[in-house]
């Protein structure tokens, strides 16, 4: 692919010249070379996009559900027709190996649009509650602010249900990996999205994102990103008491019980923690293991981690680079902190992988004997760094798992399904994978505590974009 230069944004059904005059460079994470540019919009651009969405809302919210469903299916078909292109683009932007990027970063978003169309096809818009008729209506104009780690996936989890519900959308993608959002806008335009129903503005969070969050014409903000930034979005949105949906950080625990298949649990746990080079908010980055099995766990974890050789995501690399120089510096600092705090380094470290002098690569790293309150056990690292924490009793394992400000995901491994379920129910977290259970696109995704507010995916994500109205009868 050649350098992709975008100098326009998608507002009110047309590619228009932004008021912001700057350009943001997009860097290939595996070569450190500039691979594209997008406009650096300003608050005026955000306000213009919001105004277009507001103007389009009445007509779009009044359309027949079948028309909205048809648009979602057309968008899905458009994504699928460009899946290889999108997969390669995101592999270069983010660093996920291509063999994973195509199904995860491109095909999954396409399926999200189909699933939301199916939910829309069968959704009941009214119900009875005693003498009242309850009516569900779209919430209004939605500001969608998305992250860089699963960029199109997060766009789909917000835009698809919002459009299905009858809302209009202003999208602000991450400035770190925004090129896929411009491909998406091309697809939406080709699918026939009406003017103003979907709008795209690029730029930095403190300028464009904050303009969207504070706008009195925006009825809801859906944000995915760091907990720190989520607090700022909530603060700005509170001034106009708009709805806020947040999907934030995580420090998820993988609880391996003493009767588990140890090899399956440890190997599966390492792969989960290191997916997308650990740049996954729901990654199981704390592995809780019985103390008397610690040596076995360390050997298995080292073997699994060392099999994930860093390298070119478009080539033979099994572990791609981190997304940016800033992220690389952050992860290497956490690895040094783990050593300084006394954790035992099992494999990896903060030095660069052999033979990789360009690209934001880091060695897959495993620490053991990590104290539950150590930084690497409490703070989200967002890199391929696993903390193995020993425990003595099942109750202690549950206490350690819950002793965090986060509550996004988790795992439990046990040969006894009833025992696994009992422990899973004791974890204060939005989802729990039992014995390596995979993701379910119809299940709700979101967290407890400082991992966020609300849920995404399935009917649960669709309902986030609805208001509830009661029509009260006298008889």
Topology agreement, domain 4-248+450-472 and domain 253-440? no
Pick the CATH number of 4-248+450-472 from 3.40.50.12780, 3.40.50.720, 3.40.605.10, 3.30.360.10: 3.40.605.10
DSSP class of residue 107 equals I
**Catalytic annotation present for 247:** yes
- How many angstroms separate the CA atoms of 255 and 297, rounded? 12
- The predicted structure's pLDDT at residue 2: 53
Superfamily for domain range 253-440: Aldehyde Dehydrogenase; Chain A, domain 2 (3.40.309.10)
Bridge partners (DSSP) of residue 290 are: 391
Of these residues, 93, 217, 247, 456, which one is catalytic? 247
Q: What share of the chain is helix, strand, coil (3-state, %, to 5)?
A: 45, 20, 35
Q: Which of 175, 281, 298, 464 is catalytic?
A: 281
Number of neighbours of residue 471 by Cβ within 10 angstroms: 11
* Helix (H), strand (E) at residue 217: none
167 is an active site residue? no
**What is the tens place of the pLDDT at every residue in 375-434?**
999 999 999 999 999 999 999 999 999 999 999 999 999 999 999 999 999 999 999 999
Helical (H) or strand (E) element with 13? none
- In tens digits, the chain (475 residues) has pLDDT values of 456 899 999 999 999 999 999 999 999 999 999 999 999 999 999 999 999 999 999 999 999 999 999 999 999 999 999 999 999 999 999 999 999 999 999 999 999 999 999 999 999 999 999 999 999 999 999 999 999 999 999 999 999 999 999 999 999 999 999 999 999 999 999 999 999 999 999 999 999 999 999 999 999 999 999 999 999 999 999 999 999 999 999 999 999 999 999 999 999 999 999 999 999 999 999 999 999 999 999 999 999 999 999 999 999 999 999 999 999 999 999 999 999 999 999 999 999 899 898 999 999 999 999 999 999 999 999 999 999 999 999 999 999 999 999 999 999 999 999 999 999 999 999 999 999 998 899 999 999 999 999 999 999 999 999 999 999 998 7
Report the mean per-residue pLDDT for the chain: 97
Q: Which two tokens stand for residue 10?
A: 């998608």
For residues 370 and 342, give the distance between their C-alpha atoms in angstroms, rounded to a whole number.
8
d(CA 473, CA 471): 7
Q: What residue ranges do the domains of the chain occupy?
A: 4-248+450-472, 253-440
């Amino acid at each position: 692919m050649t350098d992709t230069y975008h100098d326009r944004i998608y507002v009110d059904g047309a590619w228009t010249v932004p008021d912001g005059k700057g350009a943001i460079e997009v860097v290939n994470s595996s070569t450190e070379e500039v691979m594209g540019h997008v406009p650096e919009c300003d608050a005026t651009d955000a306000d213009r996009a919001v105004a277009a969405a507001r103007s389009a809302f009445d007509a779009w919210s009044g359309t027949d559900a079948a028309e909205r469903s048809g648009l979602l299916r057309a968008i899905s078909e458009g994504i699928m027709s460009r899946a290889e292109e999108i997969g390669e683009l995101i592999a270069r932007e983010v660093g996920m190996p291509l063999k994973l990027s195509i199904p995860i970063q491109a095909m999954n978003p396409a399926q999200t649009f189909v699933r939301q169309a199916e939910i829309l096809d069968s959704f009941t818009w009214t119900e009875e509650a005693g003498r009242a008729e309850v009516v569900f209506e779209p919430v209004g104009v939605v500001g969608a602010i998305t992250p860089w780690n699963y960029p199109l996936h997060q766009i789909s989890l917000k835009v698809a249900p919002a459009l299905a519900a009858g809302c209009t959308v202003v999208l602000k993608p991450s400035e770190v990996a925004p090129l896929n959002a411009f491909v998406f806008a091309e697809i939406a335009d080709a699918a026939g999205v009406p003017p103003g129903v979907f709008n795209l503005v690029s730029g930095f969070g403190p300028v464009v994102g904050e303009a969207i969050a504070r706008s009195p014409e925006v009825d809801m903000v859906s944000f995915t990103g760091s907990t720190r930034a989520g607090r700022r979005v909530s603060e700005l949105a509170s001034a106009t008491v708009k709805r806020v949906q947040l999907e934030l950080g995580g420090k998820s625990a993988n609880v391996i019980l003493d009767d588990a298949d140890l090899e399956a649990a440890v190997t599966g746990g390492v792969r989960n923690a290191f997916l997308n080079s650990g740049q996954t908010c729901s990654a199981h980055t704390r592995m809780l293991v019985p103390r008397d099995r610690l040596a076995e766990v360390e050997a298995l974890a080292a073997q699994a981690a060392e099999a994930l050789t860093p390298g070119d995501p478009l080539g033979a690399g099994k572990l791609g680079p981190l997304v940016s120089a800033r992220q690389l510096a952050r992860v290497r600092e956490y690895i040094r902190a783990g050593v300084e705090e006394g954790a035992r380094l099992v494999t990896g470290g903060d030095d660069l992988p052999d033979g990789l002098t360009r690209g934001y690569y880091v060695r897959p790293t495993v620490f053991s004997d990590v104290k539950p309150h150590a930084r690497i056990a409490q703070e989200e690292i967002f890199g391929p760094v696993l903390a193995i924490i020993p425990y003595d009793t099942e109750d202690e394992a549950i206490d350690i798992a819950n002793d965090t400000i986060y509550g996004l995901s988790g795992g439990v491994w046990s040969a006894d399904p009833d025992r696994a379920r009992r422990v899973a129910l004791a974890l204060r977290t939005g989802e729990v994978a039992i014995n390596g259970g995979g993701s379910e696109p119809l299940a709700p995704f979101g967290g407890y505590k400082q991992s966020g507010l609300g849920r995404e995916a399935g009917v649960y994500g669709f309902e986030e974009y609805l208001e509830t109205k009661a029509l009260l009868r006298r008889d």
